[in-house]
Amino acid sequence: MASRRSIIGGVLGGLPLWLAADQAFAQQRPAPTQPARRPAPRQEGTPVATAVGNVDVLSRQALVVDFETGATLLEKNADERMPPSSMSKLMTMYVVFDRLKQGRLQMDQTLPVSERAWRMGGSKMFVDIGQQVRVEDLIRGVIVQSGNDACIVLAEAISGSEQQFAELLNATGRRIGLTNSNFRNSTGWPDPEHRMTARDLSILARRLITDFPDYYRFYSERSFRFSNISQDNRNPLLARVPGADGLKTGHTEEAGYGLTGSAMRDGRRVILVVNGLPSMRARAEESERLMEWAFREFEAVTLFRAQDTVQDVPVYLGERRTVPMVGGRDITLTLPRRWRDRLEVRVRYQAPLTAPVMRGQTIGELQVAGQGVPTLSVPLVAGADIEKLGLFPRIPAVIGRWVSGA
Protein backbone atom coordinates (compact mmCIF):
# COMPACT_ATOMS: atom_id res chain seq x y z
CA MET A 1 0.00 0.00 0.00
CA ALA A 2 1.29 3.52 -0.78
CA SER A 3 2.01 5.82 2.14
CA ARG A 4 -0.08 8.95 2.81
CA ARG A 5 2.81 11.10 1.53
CA SER A 6 2.89 9.30 -1.82
CA ILE A 7 -0.88 9.57 -2.29
CA ILE A 8 -0.90 13.31 -1.64
CA GLY A 9 2.17 13.80 -3.80
CA GLY A 10 0.61 11.89 -6.67
CA VAL A 11 -2.82 13.62 -6.67
CA LEU A 12 -1.77 17.12 -5.63
CA GLY A 13 1.73 17.24 -7.08
CA GLY A 14 1.11 20.80 -8.33
CA LEU A 15 0.24 22.16 -4.87
CA PRO A 16 3.37 21.92 -2.71
CA LEU A 17 2.03 24.52 -0.26
CA TRP A 18 -0.93 22.31 0.67
CA LEU A 19 1.40 19.37 1.21
CA ALA A 20 3.65 21.41 3.51
CA ALA A 21 0.66 22.62 5.48
CA ASP A 22 -0.63 19.07 5.80
CA GLN A 23 2.76 17.92 7.11
CA ALA A 24 2.87 20.72 9.65
CA PHE A 25 -0.62 19.84 10.85
CA ALA A 26 0.39 16.19 11.20
CA GLN A 27 3.37 17.18 13.34
CA GLN A 28 1.06 19.01 15.76
CA ARG A 29 -1.09 15.97 16.36
CA PRO A 30 -0.04 13.75 19.25
CA ALA A 31 1.67 10.56 18.13
CA PRO A 32 -0.50 7.49 18.54
CA THR A 33 0.26 5.52 21.66
CA GLN A 34 2.17 2.33 20.89
CA PRO A 35 1.03 -0.70 22.87
CA ALA A 36 3.64 -2.08 25.28
CA ARG A 37 5.66 -4.81 23.68
CA ARG A 38 4.97 -8.11 25.34
CA PRO A 39 7.63 -10.76 25.57
CA ALA A 40 7.14 -13.64 23.20
CA PRO A 41 5.36 -16.52 24.93
CA ARG A 42 7.52 -19.45 25.96
CA GLN A 43 7.36 -22.32 23.51
CA GLU A 44 5.55 -25.35 24.86
CA GLY A 45 7.35 -28.65 25.14
CA THR A 46 6.13 -32.09 26.12
CA PRO A 47 5.09 -33.19 29.63
CA VAL A 48 7.66 -35.37 31.39
CA ALA A 49 6.56 -37.48 34.37
CA THR A 50 8.49 -36.92 37.61
CA ALA A 51 8.00 -37.83 41.26
CA VAL A 52 6.25 -34.49 41.82
CA GLY A 53 4.07 -34.52 38.70
CA ASN A 54 4.47 -33.66 35.03
CA VAL A 55 7.00 -31.02 34.01
CA ASP A 56 6.95 -29.33 30.62
CA VAL A 57 10.27 -29.86 28.80
CA LEU A 58 11.09 -28.25 25.46
CA SER A 59 14.53 -29.89 25.08
CA ARG A 60 14.83 -32.95 22.85
CA GLN A 61 17.05 -34.51 25.52
CA ALA A 62 17.14 -33.56 29.20
CA LEU A 63 18.41 -34.93 32.50
CA VAL A 64 18.45 -33.47 36.02
CA VAL A 65 20.30 -35.37 38.75
CA ASP A 66 21.31 -34.84 42.37
CA PHE A 67 25.09 -34.76 42.63
CA GLU A 68 25.50 -36.47 46.02
CA THR A 69 22.95 -39.25 45.77
CA GLY A 70 22.88 -39.70 42.01
CA ALA A 71 19.08 -39.61 42.12
CA THR A 72 17.44 -38.84 38.77
CA LEU A 73 14.94 -36.03 39.29
CA LEU A 74 13.87 -35.68 35.63
CA GLU A 75 14.81 -37.37 32.39
CA LYS A 76 13.75 -37.15 28.77
CA ASN A 77 15.52 -39.25 26.15
CA ALA A 78 18.53 -39.31 28.49
CA ASP A 79 20.04 -42.39 26.80
CA GLU A 80 19.44 -41.24 23.23
CA ARG A 81 22.69 -40.76 21.31
CA MET A 82 22.92 -37.14 20.20
CA PRO A 83 25.46 -34.68 18.77
CA PRO A 84 26.90 -33.00 21.88
CA SER A 85 28.48 -30.09 19.96
CA SER A 86 30.82 -28.07 22.22
CA MET A 87 29.63 -29.86 25.36
CA SER A 88 32.04 -32.62 24.32
CA LYS A 89 34.85 -30.17 25.16
CA LEU A 90 34.21 -31.29 28.74
CA MET A 91 35.90 -34.56 27.76
CA THR A 92 38.85 -32.69 26.27
CA MET A 93 39.23 -30.79 29.53
CA TYR A 94 39.01 -34.00 31.55
CA VAL A 95 42.07 -35.33 29.74
CA VAL A 96 43.90 -31.99 30.10
CA PHE A 97 43.15 -31.81 33.83
CA ASP A 98 44.25 -35.42 34.23
CA ARG A 99 47.61 -34.59 32.61
CA LEU A 100 48.01 -31.60 34.92
CA LYS A 101 47.19 -33.70 37.97
CA GLN A 102 49.78 -36.29 36.91
CA GLY A 103 52.41 -33.60 36.38
CA ARG A 104 52.69 -34.42 32.67
CA LEU A 105 51.49 -30.92 31.77
CA GLN A 106 52.17 -27.59 33.52
CA MET A 107 50.00 -24.48 33.73
CA ASP A 108 52.85 -22.15 32.69
CA GLN A 109 54.03 -24.47 29.90
CA THR A 110 53.68 -22.98 26.41
CA LEU A 111 52.37 -24.94 23.42
CA PRO A 112 52.79 -24.14 19.71
CA VAL A 113 49.91 -23.18 17.41
CA SER A 114 49.85 -25.22 14.19
CA GLU A 115 48.38 -24.02 10.92
CA ARG A 116 45.53 -26.50 11.35
CA ALA A 117 44.63 -25.05 14.76
CA TRP A 118 44.90 -21.51 13.42
CA ARG A 119 42.64 -22.27 10.44
CA MET A 120 39.97 -24.06 12.50
CA GLY A 121 36.52 -22.55 12.08
CA GLY A 122 33.67 -22.03 14.52
CA SER A 123 34.12 -20.37 17.89
CA LYS A 124 37.70 -19.25 18.39
CA MET A 125 40.18 -18.06 20.99
CA PHE A 126 42.02 -16.29 18.13
CA VAL A 127 45.49 -17.77 18.54
CA ASP A 128 48.04 -16.95 15.81
CA ILE A 129 49.94 -19.46 13.70
CA GLY A 130 53.35 -20.19 15.21
CA GLN A 131 52.43 -18.52 18.51
CA GLN A 132 53.42 -20.15 21.81
CA VAL A 133 50.43 -20.10 24.20
CA ARG A 134 50.39 -20.90 27.91
CA VAL A 135 48.40 -23.97 28.94
CA GLU A 136 46.45 -21.90 31.47
CA ASP A 137 45.38 -19.48 28.73
CA LEU A 138 44.38 -22.36 26.47
CA ILE A 139 42.24 -23.82 29.28
CA ARG A 140 40.39 -20.52 29.61
CA GLY A 141 40.18 -20.32 25.83
CA VAL A 142 38.34 -23.66 25.76
CA ILE A 143 36.16 -23.22 28.85
CA VAL A 144 35.22 -19.54 28.68
CA GLN A 145 35.53 -18.79 24.97
CA SER A 146 34.73 -22.29 23.63
CA GLY A 147 37.72 -21.96 21.31
CA ASN A 148 38.01 -24.75 18.77
CA ASP A 149 41.51 -23.55 17.94
CA ALA A 150 42.55 -23.87 21.61
CA CYS A 151 41.22 -27.45 21.70
CA ILE A 152 43.36 -28.46 18.73
CA VAL A 153 46.50 -26.87 20.19
CA LEU A 154 46.02 -28.95 23.35
CA ALA A 155 45.09 -32.12 21.44
CA GLU A 156 48.15 -31.94 19.18
CA ALA A 157 50.47 -31.24 22.12
CA ILE A 158 49.16 -34.23 24.10
CA SER A 159 48.73 -36.84 21.35
CA GLY A 160 50.50 -35.53 18.27
CA SER A 161 47.32 -35.26 16.22
CA GLU A 162 43.64 -34.66 16.83
CA GLN A 163 42.82 -38.13 15.47
CA GLN A 164 45.11 -39.75 18.03
CA PHE A 165 43.67 -37.48 20.73
CA ALA A 166 40.15 -38.68 19.86
CA GLU A 167 41.30 -42.25 20.56
CA LEU A 168 42.59 -41.09 23.94
CA LEU A 169 39.21 -39.43 24.63
CA ASN A 170 37.42 -42.70 23.90
CA ALA A 171 39.75 -44.75 26.10
CA THR A 172 39.43 -42.26 28.97
CA GLY A 173 35.68 -42.09 28.54
CA ARG A 174 35.35 -45.86 28.88
CA ARG A 175 37.55 -45.79 31.97
CA ILE A 176 35.37 -43.23 33.78
CA GLY A 177 32.06 -44.89 32.91
CA LEU A 178 30.85 -43.24 29.71
CA THR A 179 29.12 -46.23 28.17
CA ASN A 180 27.34 -44.59 25.25
CA SER A 181 29.77 -42.02 23.85
CA ASN A 182 32.07 -41.91 20.83
CA PHE A 183 34.51 -39.08 20.13
CA ARG A 184 35.86 -38.23 16.70
CA ASN A 185 37.52 -34.90 17.53
CA SER A 186 38.43 -32.59 20.41
CA THR A 187 35.91 -29.84 19.71
CA GLY A 188 32.49 -31.35 19.07
CA TRP A 189 32.75 -30.33 15.40
CA PRO A 190 29.88 -31.98 13.47
CA ASP A 191 30.61 -35.61 12.61
CA PRO A 192 27.95 -38.33 12.17
CA GLU A 193 29.92 -40.66 14.47
CA HIS A 194 30.64 -38.10 17.21
CA ARG A 195 27.92 -38.83 19.75
CA MET A 196 27.15 -38.71 23.48
CA THR A 197 24.06 -39.05 25.66
CA ALA A 198 22.68 -36.71 28.28
CA ARG A 199 23.39 -39.37 30.90
CA ASP A 200 27.04 -39.67 29.86
CA LEU A 201 27.39 -35.87 29.98
CA SER A 202 26.04 -35.86 33.54
CA ILE A 203 28.52 -38.58 34.53
CA LEU A 204 31.35 -36.60 32.92
CA ALA A 205 30.31 -33.42 34.75
CA ARG A 206 30.24 -35.30 38.04
CA ARG A 207 33.71 -36.75 37.42
CA LEU A 208 35.15 -33.32 36.52
CA ILE A 209 33.83 -31.83 39.77
CA THR A 210 34.91 -34.80 41.90
CA ASP A 211 38.27 -35.62 40.33
CA PHE A 212 39.58 -32.09 39.74
CA PRO A 213 38.27 -29.71 42.43
CA ASP A 214 41.34 -27.46 42.00
CA TYR A 215 40.66 -26.96 38.29
CA TYR A 216 36.86 -26.90 38.28
CA ARG A 217 37.01 -23.21 39.29
CA PHE A 218 37.72 -22.23 35.66
CA TYR A 219 34.11 -23.05 34.74
CA SER A 220 32.73 -20.21 36.87
CA GLU A 221 34.80 -17.48 35.19
CA ARG A 222 32.56 -14.98 33.41
CA SER A 223 34.96 -13.66 30.77
CA PHE A 224 38.46 -13.99 29.36
CA ARG A 225 40.59 -11.63 27.31
CA PHE A 226 43.19 -12.91 24.84
CA SER A 227 44.88 -11.09 21.94
CA ASN A 228 43.02 -7.93 23.02
CA ILE A 229 39.71 -9.69 22.38
CA SER A 230 37.42 -10.14 25.38
CA GLN A 231 34.74 -12.82 25.22
CA ASP A 232 32.06 -13.67 27.78
CA ASN A 233 31.24 -17.13 29.07
CA ARG A 234 28.18 -18.37 27.16
CA ASN A 235 26.78 -20.32 30.14
CA PRO A 236 23.51 -18.50 30.97
CA LEU A 237 23.20 -20.10 34.42
CA LEU A 238 26.17 -18.13 35.75
CA ALA A 239 24.18 -14.90 35.53
CA ARG A 240 20.68 -16.25 36.15
CA VAL A 241 20.87 -18.93 38.86
CA PRO A 242 22.30 -18.36 42.37
CA GLY A 243 25.02 -20.90 43.11
CA ALA A 244 25.69 -21.77 39.45
CA ASP A 245 29.39 -22.46 38.83
CA GLY A 246 29.71 -24.40 35.51
CA LEU A 247 29.95 -26.13 33.05
CA LYS A 248 29.62 -25.87 29.20
CA THR A 249 27.27 -24.80 26.42
CA GLY A 250 27.07 -26.18 22.91
CA HIS A 251 25.40 -25.45 19.59
CA THR A 252 25.35 -26.76 16.04
CA GLU A 253 22.59 -26.79 13.45
CA GLU A 254 22.00 -30.50 13.96
CA ALA A 255 22.26 -30.51 17.75
CA GLY A 256 20.39 -27.30 18.51
CA TYR A 257 21.31 -25.37 21.64
CA GLY A 258 22.54 -27.35 24.64
CA LEU A 259 23.99 -26.92 28.11
CA THR A 260 25.57 -29.10 30.76
CA GLY A 261 25.27 -27.05 33.94
CA SER A 262 25.72 -27.29 37.68
CA ALA A 263 24.76 -25.25 40.72
CA MET A 264 25.25 -25.64 44.46
CA ARG A 265 23.12 -24.23 47.27
CA ASP A 266 23.28 -24.90 51.00
CA GLY A 267 25.65 -27.81 50.47
CA ARG A 268 23.49 -29.48 47.80
CA ARG A 269 24.57 -29.69 44.16
CA VAL A 270 22.41 -30.35 41.10
CA ILE A 271 23.64 -31.27 37.61
CA LEU A 272 21.54 -30.51 34.54
CA VAL A 273 21.86 -31.48 30.87
CA VAL A 274 19.63 -30.09 28.12
CA ASN A 275 20.03 -30.30 24.36
CA GLY A 276 18.09 -29.74 21.14
CA LEU A 277 16.66 -26.34 22.05
CA PRO A 278 15.69 -23.92 19.27
CA SER A 279 17.48 -20.77 20.46
CA MET A 280 19.87 -19.25 22.99
CA ARG A 281 16.90 -17.70 24.76
CA ALA A 282 15.11 -21.04 25.01
CA ARG A 283 18.30 -22.60 26.40
CA ALA A 284 18.65 -19.88 29.03
CA GLU A 285 14.99 -20.03 30.08
CA GLU A 286 14.68 -23.81 30.18
CA SER A 287 17.94 -24.42 32.03
CA GLU A 288 17.07 -21.77 34.63
CA ARG A 289 13.53 -23.11 35.06
CA LEU A 290 14.59 -26.74 35.49
CA MET A 291 17.44 -25.87 37.87
CA GLU A 292 15.17 -23.76 40.07
CA TRP A 293 12.56 -26.54 39.96
CA ALA A 294 15.12 -29.08 41.18
CA PHE A 295 16.12 -26.98 44.18
CA ARG A 296 12.54 -25.97 44.99
CA GLU A 297 10.86 -29.36 44.77
CA PHE A 298 13.52 -31.72 46.20
CA GLU A 299 15.72 -31.91 49.27
CA ALA A 300 18.48 -34.15 50.58
CA VAL A 301 17.44 -36.12 53.68
CA THR A 302 20.16 -37.80 55.75
CA LEU A 303 18.62 -40.75 57.59
CA PHE A 304 21.79 -42.16 59.20
CA ARG A 305 25.48 -41.27 59.29
CA ALA A 306 28.04 -43.83 58.12
CA GLN A 307 28.77 -45.42 61.50
CA ASP A 308 25.39 -44.84 63.19
CA THR A 309 23.98 -48.13 64.49
CA VAL A 310 20.64 -48.67 62.83
CA GLN A 311 19.95 -51.79 64.90
CA ASP A 312 21.82 -54.54 66.76
CA VAL A 313 21.27 -57.91 65.10
CA PRO A 314 21.53 -61.22 67.04
CA VAL A 315 24.40 -63.54 66.02
CA TYR A 316 24.29 -67.32 66.52
CA LEU A 317 27.50 -69.03 67.59
CA GLY A 318 29.44 -65.78 67.57
CA GLU A 319 32.04 -64.49 70.00
CA ARG A 320 29.62 -61.60 70.50
CA ARG A 321 25.88 -62.07 70.76
CA THR A 322 25.02 -59.15 68.47
CA VAL A 323 26.55 -57.17 65.61
CA PRO A 324 25.78 -53.50 64.88
CA MET A 325 24.01 -52.98 61.55
CA VAL A 326 25.16 -49.74 59.89
CA GLY A 327 24.87 -47.92 56.59
CA GLY A 328 28.61 -48.08 55.88
CA ARG A 329 28.23 -44.58 54.43
CA ASP A 330 25.94 -41.68 55.08
CA ILE A 331 22.46 -42.78 54.05
CA THR A 332 21.20 -39.70 52.25
CA LEU A 333 18.21 -39.73 49.94
CA THR A 334 16.98 -37.05 47.56
CA LEU A 335 13.24 -36.80 48.08
CA PRO A 336 10.41 -34.44 47.16
CA ARG A 337 9.91 -31.92 49.94
CA ARG A 338 6.21 -32.78 50.11
CA TRP A 339 7.05 -36.37 51.13
CA ARG A 340 8.67 -35.35 54.43
CA ASP A 341 5.52 -35.80 56.54
CA ARG A 342 4.55 -39.08 54.84
CA LEU A 343 7.79 -41.03 55.11
CA GLU A 344 7.87 -44.41 56.84
CA VAL A 345 11.25 -46.04 57.48
CA ARG A 346 11.52 -49.80 58.09
CA VAL A 347 14.49 -52.10 58.66
CA ARG A 348 14.39 -55.64 57.25
CA TYR A 349 16.85 -58.45 58.07
CA GLN A 350 17.03 -62.17 58.85
CA ALA A 351 17.90 -63.05 62.46
CA PRO A 352 19.81 -64.54 63.97
CA LEU A 353 22.87 -64.30 61.73
CA THR A 354 25.25 -67.24 61.83
CA ALA A 355 28.87 -66.52 62.71
CA PRO A 356 31.30 -65.68 61.31
CA VAL A 357 30.11 -62.22 60.20
CA MET A 358 32.49 -59.95 58.30
CA ARG A 359 32.58 -56.16 58.58
CA GLY A 360 30.94 -54.67 55.47
CA GLN A 361 28.90 -57.82 54.78
CA THR A 362 25.35 -56.97 53.67
CA ILE A 363 22.99 -58.17 56.38
CA GLY A 364 19.80 -56.19 55.84
CA GLU A 365 18.15 -53.27 54.13
CA LEU A 366 16.51 -49.98 54.97
CA GLN A 367 13.18 -49.41 53.27
CA VAL A 368 11.65 -45.97 52.83
CA ALA A 369 7.99 -45.85 51.87
CA GLY A 370 4.76 -44.04 52.67
CA GLN A 371 1.49 -42.85 51.17
CA GLY A 372 2.24 -41.79 47.61
CA VAL A 373 5.95 -42.51 48.12
CA PRO A 374 7.54 -45.24 45.97
CA THR A 375 9.50 -47.78 47.99
CA LEU A 376 13.22 -47.09 48.13
CA SER A 377 15.70 -49.65 49.47
CA VAL A 378 19.21 -49.06 50.82
CA PRO A 379 21.53 -51.95 51.83
CA LEU A 380 22.76 -52.16 55.44
CA VAL A 381 26.02 -53.83 56.43
CA ALA A 382 27.73 -55.32 59.47
CA GLY A 383 29.68 -52.74 61.42
CA ALA A 384 32.12 -55.21 63.00
CA ASP A 385 33.75 -58.61 62.54
CA ILE A 386 32.18 -61.37 64.65
CA GLU A 387 34.28 -64.52 64.84
CA LYS A 388 32.78 -67.97 65.33
CA LEU A 389 32.96 -69.51 68.80
CA GLY A 390 35.45 -72.30 69.38
CA LEU A 391 34.25 -75.93 69.59
CA PHE A 392 33.73 -76.19 73.35
CA PRO A 393 32.10 -72.75 73.90
CA ARG A 394 29.80 -73.62 71.01
CA ILE A 395 28.24 -76.68 72.74
CA PRO A 396 26.13 -74.79 75.35
CA ALA A 397 24.85 -72.41 72.66
CA VAL A 398 23.79 -75.31 70.40
CA ILE A 399 22.10 -77.16 73.28
CA GLY A 400 20.35 -73.99 74.41
CA ARG A 401 18.97 -73.33 70.96
CA TRP A 402 17.85 -76.97 70.60
CA VAL A 403 16.03 -76.91 73.96
CA SER A 404 14.31 -73.62 73.22
CA GLY A 405 13.27 -74.78 69.75
CA ALA A 406 14.67 -71.64 68.21
pLDDT digits (tens, 9 = 90+) for 206-215: 999 999 999 9
Residue 38: what pLDDT?
56
Give yes or no for residue 26 having a pLDDT over 80: no
Q: 367 near 376, Cβ under 8 Å? A: yes
Is position 223 annotated as part of the catalytic site?
no
Cβ neighbours for 160, distance < 8 A, ≥ 6 positions apart:
none
Section 72-97 average pLDDT: 98
d(CA 194, CA 189): 8
Omega before 83 within 30 of 0, i.e. cis: no
pLDDT tens for 319-340 read 899 999 999 888 888 889 888 7
**Domains of the chain by start residue, with CATH:** 46-296 (3.40.710.10), 305-404 (2.60.410.10)
Give the pLDDT confidence score for residue 399 in this predicted structure. Answer: 53
User: Does residue 20 or residue 353 have the better pLDDT?
Assistant: 353
Average pLDDT, the chain: 88
Active-site hit among 59, 76, 85, 89: 89
Residue 34 scores a pLDDT above 60: no
Mean pLDDT score, 200-220: 98
Most confident segment among 20-29, 103-112, 349-358: 103-112
pLDDT of residue 391: 56
Percent of the chain predicted with pLDDT > 70? 85
Query: Mean pLDDT: which of 130-144, 331-345, 392-406 is highest?
Result: 130-144
Active site residue 230: no
C-beta separation of 135 from 151 below 8 A:
no
Average pLDDT of the residues in 107-118: 98
* Distances 396 to 35, 316, 393, 401, 406 between C-alpha atoms, Å: 94, 12, 6, 9, 14
pTM of the model: 0.81
| Cβ neighbours around 124 below 10 Å, total | 20
Tell me, what's the pLDDT at 29? Answer: 45
* Averaged pLDDT for residues 12-41: 42
pLDDT of 1 reads: 41
Q: What does the pLDDT read at residue 190?
A: 97
Q: Which residue has the higher pLDDT, 266 or 398?
A: 266
Q: Determine which one of 85, 114, 146, 186 is catalytic.
A: 146
**Among 59, 76, 85, 86, the one annotated catalytic:** 86
Please say if 89 is a catalytic residue.
Answer: yes
